[in-house]
Amino acid sequence: MTTAQYREGTDTVARPKILVVGAGFAGVECVRRLERSLAPGEADVALVAPFSYQLYLPLLPQVASGVLTPQSVAVSLRRSSRHRTRIIPGGAIGVDHEAKVCVVRKITGETVNEPYDYLVLTPGSITRTFDIPGLVEHARGMKTLAEAAYIRDHVIAQLDLADASQDEAERASRLQFVVVGGGYAGTETAACLQRLTTNAARRYPRLDPKLIKWHLIDIAPRLMPELGDKLGRSALEILRGRGIEVSLGVSVAKAAPEEVTFTDGRVVPSRTLIWTAGVAASPLMATLGTETVKGRLVVTPEMTVPGIDGVFALGDAAAVPDLAAGDGAVCPPTAQHATRQGRKVAANIVASLRREPLRPYEHRDLGLVVDLGGRDAVSKPLGIELRGMPAQAVARGYHWQALRTNVARTRVFTNWMLNAVAGDDFVRTGFQSQKRATLRDFEYTDSYLSPEQVREHVRGETALRG
């Protein structure tokens, strides 16, 4: 079928249906490119997304610390698209690739079948956990906007409660905070929140700032090894210079409501355990019943799923071969790769529609930026090592230009300026105070179907329609 035939249109020929699952960096970029590249009437595009925004994940620590408002990092899908895409408010919970149907649970709880000709899987990742006693029950994550808002409220609540308490043991446990994970998310979270509590302590005359203590631990021997030895040591020196106790080669042995036990035997009285120790691919990928690598769906360099017609997978949930690195490496789960993969998949879908050859994905990483709050940062753009204000300028400049809309850029820039001039009010909203804060509650990891359940559901719905 040619593009011209679709443009002319007939009542007897249905347009191909392109279904994109996930509104992260990869999914949104894919949709934007499809809207630009497809001729009117050439195909129908739909996007499955539980929220009406794309979350700019790298700035979540600044939301948790109050530097940015939640709305600043929630980039509207309605503003960033050209209104040619149908947005389905819900989440994909299974795929029947034989029937070419994606099972979607809407935000109302209703489960529907969405047929497709081309399926683009970009469901992203969830927080990776381990079989550690008490971890799932007592740890908080930093993967969603709700989690960042909750953590901010929770941390300020600990200061409020410690200030009001007459019990020294309670006060000590409320004023110690543990962050697990020495990658970008954990390091930035610990740095930004430590700055928040340090500044807030001046507003609590009954609190001794020396009692507020932040712990950053990681089982790895180095902090953010991707930065290299020099910048990694610089980041470590900055954190320790600000009073954060960084422990490497250490993890959590056990978590309880009022204390955390480390694997080196230390027992830290703490009511705040923030878990950022890596990510795992969305459980959706397991519903296809095809090969995975550490949970990530195995794909070709063109990001097609071997042996399955019309299915592409990319981003955090796919093991995309890293042709630039070679030696069987796969692309790391970063926004930089996800965005560019989204563009390439859109181009490959258009090529497939027009009977043109698909092209492989290849991109060399452009560098790394780490914002440690205030004037502290380390960055490595194009291999150039930067520290302090120059690194901060690069980090914030990169994030600012990466935001999708001018409205989002304006909000973020205004928040940065306001925080730099006026500081924080240390207000807790209480919106999440009555909600359980486990990783499962915020990330909905128990929502997915097994491959057998997907097939049963699809065939059951088909029989009812028949």
Helix (H/G/I), strand (E/B), else coil: 387: strand
Percent helix / strand / coil, the chain, rounded to 5: 40, 25, 35
Which DSSP symbol is given to 330?
A: B
Q: Are 360 and 343 in contact (CB under 8 A)?
A: no
The position carrying tokens 């809407």 is 106
Going from the N-terminus, what domains does the chain have, and what CATH number goes with each? 3-127+280-364 (3.50.50.60), 135-277+367-431 (3.50.50.100)
What angle do helix axes 388-402 and 406-422 make, rounded to 10 degrees?
Answer: 150
What is the pTM for the complete model shown? 0.90
Report the distance separating Cα 24 and Cα 334, nearest Å. Answer: 11
- H-helix or E-strand spanning residue 250: none
pLDDT, tens digit only, all 466 positions of the chain: 434 344 444 444 589 999 999 999 999 999 999 999 999 899 999 999 999 999 999 999 999 999 999 999 999 998 866 678 999 999 999 999 999 999 999 999 999 999 999 999 999 998 888 999 999 999 999 999 999 999 999 999 999 999 999 999 999 999 999 999 999 999 999 999 999 999 999 899 888 888 999 999 999 999 998 888 899 999 999 999 999 999 999 999 999 999 999 999 999 999 999 999 988 899 999 888 899 998 899 999 999 999 999 999 999 999 999 998 888 899 988 899 999 999 999 999 999 999 999 999 998 877 889 999 888 999 998 889 999 999 999 999 999 999 989 999 999 999 999 999 998 888 888 876 666 667 767 777 767 888 788 888 787 766 555 5
